[in-house]
Structure 1
Amino acid sequence: MAEFQAGMNEDNVYGRTAKLTGVSESTIRRIVDEGFKNGGKFSTPGKHRKGRPTKHIDDFDICSIRQKVQFFYTVQKEVPTLRKLLAVVKEDLNFDGSYELLRKILISIGFKFKKCQSNRLALIEKPAIASKREYYLRHILENRRLPEELQKNIIYLDESYIHESYKVTKCWQSTNIAGVQQNVSKGKRWIIVHAGSEKGFVPNALLIFTGKNKQEDYHSEMNAQNFIKWVTEKLLPNISEPSIIVMDNAPYHSITTNKAPTSASRVDEIKLWLLENNIPFDETLRKPSLLMLVKKHKPEPIYYIEELLFEHGHTVVRLPPYHCDLNPIELVWAIVKRRIAQKNVCGQNVAKLAEEAFQAVPQEWKNCVEHVIKIQTYRNSNV
């Protein structure tokens, strides 16, 4: 720079600098230009900093957080704040997340922080979630109020997972007897699909397979094709009477047969859908206007799995979002996993241990269902 200002030949300076540094003249010119433009300040490439690891919160934890919010209102008779709630879930649920993570979880399960009628800010559940809970409870309790001979059997289905290294965390041991040895890595992950009622598990409906991605949520290991195959080959052949089938709203449970176009659809696809549904439109309309027509005439979704089960005499009732406490199979999963952990001493075949555990818990189903009935009755009294 000083040589430029002294009136020296710029070309000579560029050439000598390039020769001494081993960098091309064009690069030298670009660097000098950048210096002139930025007042002598040069930008440096940003460092690649490793972000915080993602915390995976399962459905049971989410359900427990929802119950804690309810506990503040119904038992402690006080308005929950994020700081109060964070302290409680850390102590009672061993929640190790941050204030911000808890806020995001509450928003994702249908809560929002808004002014109530007294103009005081409070955590309020979204009406859509409460409405779906009311719909679910009404259908389940109406069936239970019928004479016993007219009641339909209620079958609950769900998916879960267990790692190959799933073992007890504490055991009796000494300097001579090491006890259970924990693995460094979690090993394989097994995806489990099953269904049951107060009578026990549906016979021969168990599906266990090895997951491929240990980092993703276990729901990503399932897809509609596998789920429909399980329903067709393992569930339906083993249900002997018309039943009520309870399931959640996982994407693979919710494939529709009348899917409407979205903003990702091509214009010709949108027009074809409008024609097939006898909806008049102007051929000169652009995509935004066509999508407005779709939104206006969009039908109620028809779910493939519900149609399939209906054809075989069964009725589907959907669990309200984030209400695993209304599904007794969640309690059964805990019992099964505990029994697997007690048997998994030497890293044995987890799939075999799971099959043995499922065969040993039919008598537990009735207790789990009775526990959920109490929750359903309580929820219905204060929907």
Structure 2
Amino acid sequence: MDDFDIGVLRRKIHEFYTMKKEIPTVNKLYCALKEDIGFKGSREILRQHIKKIGFRFKKSKSNRKVLIERNDISAWRAKYLQVLKDNDETHKLPVVYLETYIQSGLTFGMLKCWQNDDGTDGVLNPISKGQRLIIVHAGGEQGFVENACLVFKSQTKSGDHHDDMNHSNFKKWVTEKLAPNLNQPSLIVMDNAPYHNTSINKAPNTNSRKGVIQEWLSRNHIEYSPQYTIPQLLEIVKRNKPEPVYAIDAILKGLGHKVLRLPPYHCDLNPIEMVWASMKRKVAMVNIRKLANEMPSMDKFRVK
């Protein structure tokens, strides 16, 4: 399931409660998604997706088991919507949404088409998905940000575009292509991709060496005893751990912009995701392979 399908799943769960007045069991959701988006996975895979987007199956006060959304995700969504509302009513900053990735060899899972009974083949499913294209862009109510588009061929075979668009490359795109083309202070909305969330002054964790933990505590003027063990030091870190400050946020705020992050698994709250979903479906239908050979390589852009 891609991000668009995950958004459909979330809305379908709420639809069962608000419109159908039914409990959305896995079986009911499986049948609904199979009909609506052609879901090809098993019921167990669907169950895993439901858990991943923050729902858990538990007994309600009426002793009936229902799907309940995690409180932290619900609170994050409420805060996100409130910030957008306040901006619309008070600050009136233009809202700019960021999005990354499309695949040149994208096809539908089980491709069907009209075929003649005389044995003539129709459209054949590709054996290999071919080159993947990475597209990074931003846009809002006024359209896409001019000159901010970045397109390049994936150089990895892992299947994860995050291996291509890492923090260094994303930072380079923000500073060289996005920020210079924003004509006024803006509210920039991005998701929680790892390359968006590289922290400044990141707190140590259980994998950190004792010396690293002590150095972090000293740098932040937090008292501790040299005799403390690693678990004791980590308890002090936990009590004094600051809110994360992300490197990209610091850059954009320094240029007069504000940053807002989407709640996890809420691509439906990002309008550019709807544009991307439409584009990906169009690519899946047409699947013009020659596109991949015409795209520039990342080598022309890569951070040295």
AA matched with 1:158: E
CA–CA distance in structure 2, aligned partners of residues 142 and 275 of structure 1? 39
CA–CA distance in structure 1, aligned partners of residues 285 and 66 of structure 2? 44
2:66 aligned counterpart, secondary structure: strand
Q: For residues 343 and 151 of structure 1, do their structure 2 counterparts lie closer, same or farther at Cα, with a shift above 3 Å needed?
A: same
Q: Are the counterparts in 2 of residues 165 and 183 from structure 1 also a CA contact under 8 Å?
A: no
Deviations 1:314-369 (A, max 9, x none): 00011111111111111211343455567655x32247699xxxxxxxxxxxxxxx
CA–CA distance in structure 1, aligned partners of residues 265 and 15 of structure 2? 16
Q: Is residue 2:42 matched to residue 1:98? A: yes
Q: Is residue 2:95 matched to residue 1:154? A: yes
Q: For residues 340 and 352 of structure 1, do their structure 2 counterparts lie closer, same or farther at Cα, with a shift above 3 Å needed?
A: farther
Q: Specify the alignment match of 1:349 in structure 2.
A: 291
Q: Specify the alignment match of 1:11 in structure 2.
A: none
TM-score (norm 1): 0.70
- Structure 1 or 2, whichever has the larger Rg, is 1
Q: Are the counterparts in 2 of residues 344 and 350 from structure 1 also a CA contact under 8 Å?
A: no
Q: CA deviation at 1:303?
A: 0.8
CA–CA distance in structure 1, aligned partners of residues 78 and 217 of structure 2? 34
Q: CA deviation at 1:219?
A: 3.0
Q: CA deviation at 1:216?
A: 2.5
Q: CA deviation at 1:285?
A: 1.1
Q: For residues 279 and 215 of structure 1, do their structure 2 counterparts lie closer, same or farther at Cα, with a shift above 3 Å needed?
A: closer
CA–CA distance in structure 1, aligned partners of residues 85 and 72 of structure 2? 20
Deviations 1:164-219 (A, max 9, x none): 4669975899x9x9886664321101111100011111011111111133453333
Q: Are the counterparts in 2 of residues 111 and 124 from structure 1 also a CA contact under 8 Å?
A: yes
Q: Are the counterparts in 2 of residues 63 and 325 from structure 1 also a CA contact under 8 Å?
A: yes
Aligned residues: 293
Q: Are the counterparts in 2 of residues 112 and 123 from structure 1 also a CA contact under 8 Å?
A: yes
Q: For residues 166 and 155 of structure 1, do their structure 2 counterparts lie closer, same or farther at Cα, with a shift above 3 Å needed?
A: same
Q: For residues 196 and 352 of structure 1, do their structure 2 counterparts lie closer, same or farther at Cα, with a shift above 3 Å needed?
A: farther
**Higher normalized contact order (CA 8 Å, seq sep 6+, divided by chain length):** 2
Q: Is residue 2:66 matched to residue 1:125? A: no
CA–CA distance in structure 2, aligned partners of residues 129 and 341 of structure 1? 32
Q: Specify the alignment match of 2:301 in structure 1.
A: none
Q: CA deviation at 1:92?
A: 1.9
Q: For residues 329 and 267 of structure 1, do their structure 2 counterparts lie closer, same or farther at Cα, with a shift above 3 Å needed?
A: same
Q: Are the counterparts in 2 of residues 245 and 315 from structure 1 also a CA contact under 8 Å?
A: yes
Q: Is residue 2:53 matched to residue 1:109? A: yes
Q: Are the counterparts in 1 of residues 189 and 261 from structure 2 also a CA contact under 8 Å?
A: yes
Structure 2: give runs of 5+ residues left out of the alignment: 297-304
1:66 aligned counterpart, secondary structure: helix
Q: CA deviation at 1:240?
A: 0.5
Q: For residues 92 and 166 of structure 1, do their structure 2 counterparts lie closer, same or farther at Cα, with a shift above 3 Å needed?
A: closer
Q: Is residue 2:143 matched to residue 1:143? A: no
Deviations 1:114-163 (A, max 9, x none): 122223211000000000100110011222234xxx62110000112212
1:163 aligned counterpart, secondary structure: coil
Q: For residues 103 and 344 of structure 1, do their structure 2 counterparts lie closer, same or farther at Cα, with a shift above 3 Å needed?
A: closer
Q: Is residue 2:164 matched to residue 1:221? A: yes
Q: CA deviation at 1:97?
A: 1.7
Q: Are the counterparts in 2 of residues 160 and 191 from structure 1 also a CA contact under 8 Å?
A: yes
Q: For residues 351 and 129 of structure 1, do their structure 2 counterparts lie closer, same or farther at Cα, with a shift above 3 Å needed?
A: farther
TM-score (norm 2): 0.87
1:237 aligned counterpart, secondary structure: helix
Q: Specify the alignment match of 1:362 in structure 2.
A: none
Q: How does 1:1-383 map to 2 (within 5 A)?
A: 57-146=1-90, 151-164=92-105, 183-337=126-280, 340=283, 347-350=289-292
Q: Which moved more, 1:329-338 or 1:100-109?
A: 329-338
Deviations 1:290-330 (A, max 9, x none): 11111111111111111100011100011111111111111
2:259 aligned counterpart, secondary structure: strand
2:103 aligned counterpart, secondary structure: strand
2:133 aligned counterpart, secondary structure: strand
Identity of aligned residues (%): 47
Q: Are the counterparts in 2 of residues 161 and 218 from structure 1 also a CA contact under 8 Å?
A: no
Deviations 1:54-99 (A, max 9, x none): xxx3212222111111111111111112222222222222222222
Structure 1: give runs of 5+ residues left out of the alignment: 1-56, 355-383
1:75 aligned counterpart, secondary structure: helix
CA–CA distance in structure 2, aligned partners of residues 169 and 353 of structure 1? 29
CA–CA distance in structure 1, aligned partners of residues 183 and 55 of structure 2? 41
